Structure 1
Amino acid sequence: MTDFLKSKNFRIFLLMILDIIAVFLSSMAALALRFDILSIPIEYLRGAVISMPVYFVVTVLVLNIFRLYNRVWTYASLSEFVAIIESTLLIEVAFICYHVFTNIDMPRSYYPLNLVIMTMMIISIRFAKLALKNVNNTKNIEKITRHVMIVGAGAAAAILIKDLKRAESTARAICAIDDNPNKKNKYIMGVPIVGTRDDISKSIKKYGVTEIIIAMPSVAPSVLREVISICQETGKPVKILPSVAKSLTSSVEREVRPVRYEDLLGRDAINVDQDGINDFLENKTVLVTGGGGSIGSELCRQIVKNRPKKLIIFDIYENNTYEIQMELERHYPEVNISTLIGSVRDFDRMEAMFKKYKPDVVYHAAAHKHVPLMEKSPNEAIKNNCLGTLNAVKLADKYEVKNFILISTDKAVRPTNIMGATKRICEMLVQTYAKKSIKTRFAAVRFGNVLGSNGSVIPLFLKQIEEGGPVTVTHRDITRFFMTIPEAVSLVLQASLYAKGGEIFVLDMGKPVRIYELAENLIKMKGYRPNEDMKIEIVGLRPGEKLYEEVLMDEEGLDKTENNMIFIGKPLKLDNEKFLLGLDALISEALKNGNHIKEMTEEICGTYTITDN
């Protein structure tokens, strides 16, 4: 019985009973207003009473047609108000028609009086809960501890403001900002729109704002970045409402989250041919070397979504590899996953894997990538990056892998460090094997820094901020290209579809980001003031580090693909035999831990410049 009283069906039943009572009372009240309550003519009273069963049926039927029994009245708005008026007009017309056809005589003034009273009563029944809620909110005003400025005065803001008015919320919207100047001095859900983004700073002081929520879920990322920057200048906590999609099942306020470093990137959404990627990977055996790393693990996450026949995760680092294995087996138990530990330097180990599983597609992400560490250990960079890639391409060719994709880097362009030089050699190796292989399409994908990857600058800055600073930047003018890991990987998968053999695919990384500005934004994101609460220290360029990175050499040229975020660098002319002989000699020297490995690398990679900074 208790469950029924709390059920939706009981609420509908209760509304119907209240509507029937409202129809009865409005009919009697109309007659009482037309005549003195004690002198209502008996024929009119009898006509009203006789009509009641029809009144009741018509009312319930019409209100049901207008779906007035299936609405959430806690969040009722103008559309519900209009629906009630339309439905009561139709009900009154039905009453008049019934009386005409049955020759029931009623005073002409009865109908408009009945319409007005009935409409008011039905509105009162449905908006009573909302009115009670507003009364409770007024009583709970002392609980309000957060005075919120809403940036954006559209549909999302309206839903958020309404949700903040819940009795249990400790926040209230006290003013709104919108870039449409025509909205200034108007109201949204009772909240004043006080100006555009240029008025944010002064409005913060005027209205005693303690928190800012950006409610612009559909705005372009570049615009969002600008708005975030302005809001962060105020020193107030800044949050974002990314979506209202879940608002039907949960509180919109719960969807509000702090600003993330991805929001600071200001990139438009990346579109890929998901159907094409699915066709490319479905029922294929896919090998990911370096599958436990930042890029490799995300490759695994996106690959399993496309229902491969088998996914092979290969990495030398057992902890990260175990984590991605457990994650994938938990979320995709139906996918056949083999997790193998081993080094790409070990040819025999690699061959045993290729021979057993015979992969159709290989994503070669295994590599040493840390620039300063590789400057100190250049032989290790050659062993892992060059020898590892040589082993992988040889075996891909031997075991007739259909597609081989090398994960490269923008540091391969005119490299000034050994890590970048080894990746450039890997690209040359892929292009060389693309010419000599009959069955395998070899290609490389080149992109810049990925946000939040292991060893990248953002986790370092966040850790330094957490420890109280200082935040260390190597140079005030240093810039880098950035992309989120999922964005980069989705484009890597997309580029796989375009590979015919020998291409170096170049991802559009957007505009380069000044690392100093990134440090300032991260400090603001955490609620501090750069160089006041948190110092930024310039420490000088590290060995092999450039002021800026490139993604393409001039002589490579550039061709478009079907995806406007992916371009193709034209293959360079290479003396393949001379290159492979030189590479063998370079690897042999590295295996001996020779002292002149950088000079030998420079001979093979003509664009490499040795620097000591």
Structure 2
Amino acid sequence: MFNAFLKLSRFKKRVISLTVDFIALSFALWASFALRLDVGLWEPNRGQALISLLTVVFTLGVFVRLGLYRAVIRYMSDRAFITIITGVAASALLLVVLSYGLHVFVPRSVPLIYAALAFIFVGGSRMSMRMLVQYSSGRDKERVAIVGAGKTGVQLAKALQQGDEYHPVMFISLIPANHKTLVVGLPAFALSHLKEAVSSHGVQRLLLAVDADIEVNRRELLTQLEKLNLPVQTVPSFCEVIAGQARINDIRDLEIEDLLGRDPVRSDNAQVASSLFGRSVMVTGAGGSIGSELCRQIISHQPKCLVLFEQSEFALYAIERELQQINAAEGLNVCVHPLLGSVVHRRRCETVMRSFGVQTVYHAAAYKHVPLVEHNVIEGVQNNVFGTLHTAEAAVAAGVELFVLISTDKAVRPTNVMGASKRMAELVLQGLAQRQSDTVFSMVRFGNVLGSSGSVVPLFRDQISSGGPVTVTHPDIIRYFMTIPEASQLVLQAGSMGQGGEVFVLDMGEPVKIADLARKMMHLMGRRERTAEQPDGEIELVFSGLRPGEKLFEELLIGDDPQGTAHPRIMMAREVCMTWPKVADTVKQLQHASQAFDCEEVLSILKAAPTGFAPNGGVGDLVWNLNPQPVIPRTIDTDFEAVSMAGNEK
């Protein structure tokens, strides 16, 4: 019957509301006289009946005029109660005026009693109806607990109460003094009573809504929430809501920073801004995960122009469109130039740099996926080594002032071709830094990037969502992690600090065990691991074995004596490097071996160079393994020295 009432048309509901208010106001008038005159069944005389009728009709007219009947009961706000108070006050005042004007006996206390009763009856009926509606709709919603009883949590609770998906039943307050208090009508419990409170209220999901100004150890907090085996999600910060970037009830998965378990690295924005403002900047690999984030951060510092260099048409289209939207929304007036091209084409790179007067280059273009590069040795070396060489030579020839290479922790004592090629790229730039001084070359080395293409986090999330199994290569494998924004901030910071030939590395704290990260994600998504001890678990963790070229742990430094910098979390490596003649000779050998498609020779050259390359397997190239014979090219390009020395002639 109640659901049938809720489905009535708006007009019928308003008629019912008017009828109920007419009865309630009439009863309030009768009761006020009965209470004042102390009679059980008070019967009004003709005059009293007339002014009572006029008062009730007038009050309903005031309510209509003030818009009380346009308010939807389930969404009724405080303004509706102000409307009721206004209407009731006007009604009581009219009762006094009518009693004097028509000379009808009305005791002086009756209007006051009537006003109180009228507010209770009219306001109470709506409050009761709203509670019934919320209770009825809440039975079909998922019961959630909100972690954080501050302004973000309160706003979230109010938003969810009006929604159709979640029903907030309690708060988890991070302030122990708030234990067993009521916040916007919901009980709040201290974190120490988390398990009991969640169980007694039948909570099915936890929503993180912690205010930004509250100091909390998020790592410890997530460790406690993880034990509940309930899905844990988060909401936008209050600043994002105020800025219009998100809605408070935009529930989303935990931020990658929450899984990281350490404080994010902050850059010196003033120093970075001064190195970018009003300059012409070029980003290679601008459509990739690191390159695109670099572009987002660079454009906010208002360079004169931003050149996007990318060989993937779709990736270039996507990042150019996004940057133009940022440009328009924030009124930055930065010239954004989307250019298709490959870093292995030296003349294309030089022409682009000259045409746009590029002053700073951030070289993010590279093949970074370890197994894929292991299966495509020649292409990996061509893109990572020769792509870096040709882009750097183009930068020298075009008069670029600063060139920053995005490197990787896999370049330290590499066991795979990807790491060895990136280490060789570092050696190339260090050699170029010795050969000339017009262009400053710097390298930035960091660990795995959470959330990038090929990252384990989105892979694990997809595997858990689809019911598993979750695949990890080895139970003891560990990695250093950082977020894409952190990595980009470090690159920009290092670019502003470089003097020539430095390798910058980040103090990334403790490494993360991949198996523990997978289990953490399972628990925070409300799933249990299936083991021999827990055969009823939902997700199985499977160890697939190390892939070709993969090692159990990564390092950031080759030596043990890093040098500090002006930034407390950035170090400068002290490592062996090659003179330019030796670099040129090694690169020439790599060029000949690559043109001959001799994968064994390529690996031998990389091992002979001071890269520290120690492969843990044979040649993994898929084509070479089918036909392990070098190809004798018709012509071999021998003009490397002429090309490489072009920068000096400038």
Structure 1 Cα separation of the partners of residues 379 and 124 of structure 2: 69
2:606 paired with 1:607? no
2:220 paired with 1:226? yes
Equivalence for 2:558? 553
Aligned 1:292-331 pairs, distance under 5 A: 292-331=287-326
Equivalence for 2:353? 354
Aligned residue identity for 2:356: Y
2:234 paired with 1:240? yes
2:542 paired with 1:533? no
Query: Structure 1, residues 478-516: CA drift from partner, whole Å, max 9, x if none?
Result: 111222212211221122111111111112333322111
Equivalence for 2:338? 339
Equivalence for 2:421? 422
2:402 paired with 1:403? yes
Structure 2 Cα separation of the partners of residues 270 and 606 of structure 1: 29
Which of 256-265 and 441-450 deviates more?
256-265
Structure 1 residues 151, 464: CA separation in 2 closer, same or farther (over 3 Å shift)? closer
Aligned partner of residue 148 in structure 1, secondary structure: strand
Structure 2 Cα separation of the partners of residues 134 and 253 of structure 1: 27
Structure 1 residues 467, 428: CA separation in 2 closer, same or farther (over 3 Å shift)? same
Aligned 1:29-44 pairs, distance under 5 A: none
Equivalence for 2:505? 506
Aligned partner of residue 554 in structure 1, secondary structure: coil
Shift of 1:447: 0.8
Shift of 1:229: 4.0
Structure 1 Cα separation of the partners of residues 304 and 608 of structure 2: 43
Aligned residues, how many? 507
Aligned residue identity for 2:585: L
Equivalence for 1:582? 586
List runs of 5+ in structure 1 lacking aligned partners: 1-28, 34-72, 81-109
User: 1:148 touches 1:211 (CA, 8 Å); kept in 2?
Assistant: yes
Given candidates 566, 570, 574, the residue that maps to 1:566 is 570
Shift of 1:410: 0.7
Given candidates 277, 284, 290, the residue that maps to 1:289 is 284
Structure 1 residues 244, 586: CA separation in 2 closer, same or farther (over 3 Å shift)? same
Aligned 1:144-293 pairs, distance under 5 A: 144=138, 145-166=141-162, 171-196=166-191, 198-218=192-212, 223-245=217-239, 254-293=249-288
Structure 1 Cα separation of the partners of residues 462 and 345 of structure 2: 36
Aligned partner of residue 267 in structure 1, secondary structure: coil
Structure 1 residues 366, 131: CA separation in 2 closer, same or farther (over 3 Å shift)? farther
Structure 1 residues 588, 481: CA separation in 2 closer, same or farther (over 3 Å shift)? same
Structure 1 Cα separation of the partners of residues 247 and 339 of structure 2: 44
Structure 1 residues 156, 341: CA separation in 2 closer, same or farther (over 3 Å shift)? closer
Structure 2 Cα separation of the partners of residues 455 and 425 of structure 1: 23
Query: Structure 1, residues 269-288: CA drift from partner, whole Å, max 9, x if none?
Result: 44323333233222222111
User: 1:462 touches 1:522 (CA, 8 Å); kept in 2?
Assistant: yes
Shift of 1:470: 1.8
Structure 1 Cα separation of the partners of residues 283 and 543 of structure 2: 38
User: 1:478 touches 1:515 (CA, 8 Å); kept in 2?
Assistant: yes
Structure 1 residues 443, 133: CA separation in 2 closer, same or farther (over 3 Å shift)? farther
Structure 2 Cα separation of the partners of residues 566 and 227 of structure 1: 28
Aligned residue identity for 1:235: N
Query: Structure 1, residues 202-254: CA drift from partner, whole Å, max 9, x if none?
Result: 32222222222222132789832433343344333322234234667999752
Aligned partner of residue 239 in structure 1, secondary structure: strand
Structure 2 Cα separation of the partners of residues 524 and 393 of structure 1: 46
Structure 2 Cα separation of the partners of residues 172 and 249 of structure 1: 26
Query: Structure 1, residues 363-382: CA drift from partner, whole Å, max 9, x if none?
Result: 11111111112222222222
State the TM-score, normalized to the length of structure 2.
0.70
User: 2:378 touches 2:594 (CA, 8 Å); kept in 1?
Assistant: yes
Aligned residue identity for 1:189: V
Structure 2 Cα separation of the partners of residues 169 and 609 of structure 1: 58
Query: Structure 1, residues 50-98: CA drift from partner, whole Å, max 9, x if none?
Result: xxxxxxxxxxxxxxxxxxxxxxx9469xxx9xxxxxxxxxxxxxxxxxx
Shift of 1:261: 3.8
Given candidates 130, 138, 141, the residue that maps to 2:135 is 141
List runs of 5+ in structure 2 lacking aligned partners: 1-31, 37-75, 83-107, 531-536, 619-650
Structure 1 residues 221, 262: CA separation in 2 closer, same or farther (over 3 Å shift)? farther
Equivalence for 1:97? none
Structure 1 Cα separation of the partners of residues 250 and 194 of structure 2: 23
Structure 1 residues 588, 177: CA separation in 2 closer, same or farther (over 3 Å shift)? same
Structure 1 residues 173, 464: CA separation in 2 closer, same or farther (over 3 Å shift)? closer
Structure 1 Cα separation of the partners of residues 601 and 543 of structure 2: 32
Structure 1 residues 137, 427: CA separation in 2 closer, same or farther (over 3 Å shift)? same
Structure 1 residues 125, 311: CA separation in 2 closer, same or farther (over 3 Å shift)? farther
Structure 1 residues 502, 571: CA separation in 2 closer, same or farther (over 3 Å shift)? farther
Aligned residue identity for 2:286: G
Structure 1 Cα separation of the partners of residues 507 and 458 of structure 2: 23
User: 2:401 touches 2:440 (CA, 8 Å); kept in 1?
Assistant: yes
Structure 1 residues 148, 464: CA separation in 2 closer, same or farther (over 3 Å shift)? closer
Structure 2 Cα separation of the partners of residues 131 and 276 of structure 1: 62
Aligned partner of residue 500 in structure 1, secondary structure: coil
Aligned residue identity for 1:177: I
Structure 2 Cα separation of the partners of residues 216 and 139 of structure 1: 29
Aligned residue identity for 1:345: V
Equivalence for 2:462? 463
Query: Structure 1, residues 414-458: CA drift from partner, whole Å, max 9, x if none?
Result: 111111111111112222222222211110111111122112222
Structure 1 residues 239, 359: CA separation in 2 closer, same or farther (over 3 Å shift)? same
Shift of 1:390: 1.1
Equivalence for 2:478? 479
Structure 1 Cα separation of the partners of residues 123 and 292 of structure 2: 51
Structure 1 Cα separation of the partners of residues 559 and 528 of structure 2: 41
Aligned partner of residue 353 in structure 1, secondary structure: helix
Aligned partner of residue 596 in structure 1, secondary structure: helix
Aligned residue identity for 1:568: M
Structure 1 residues 413, 222: CA separation in 2 closer, same or farther (over 3 Å shift)? farther
RMSD: 3.7
User: 1:465 touches 1:523 (CA, 8 Å); kept in 2?
Assistant: yes
Aligned partner of residue 406 in structure 2, secondary structure: strand
Equivalence for 1:382? 381
Structure 1 residues 254, 182: CA separation in 2 closer, same or farther (over 3 Å shift)? closer
Shift of 1:571: 5.2
Query: Structure 1, residues 288-318: CA drift from partner, whole Å, max 9, x if none?
Result: 1111211112222222222222222222222
State the TM-score, normalized to the length of structure 1.
0.74
Structure 1 Cα separation of the partners of residues 171 and 297 of structure 2: 39
Equivalence for 2:490? 491
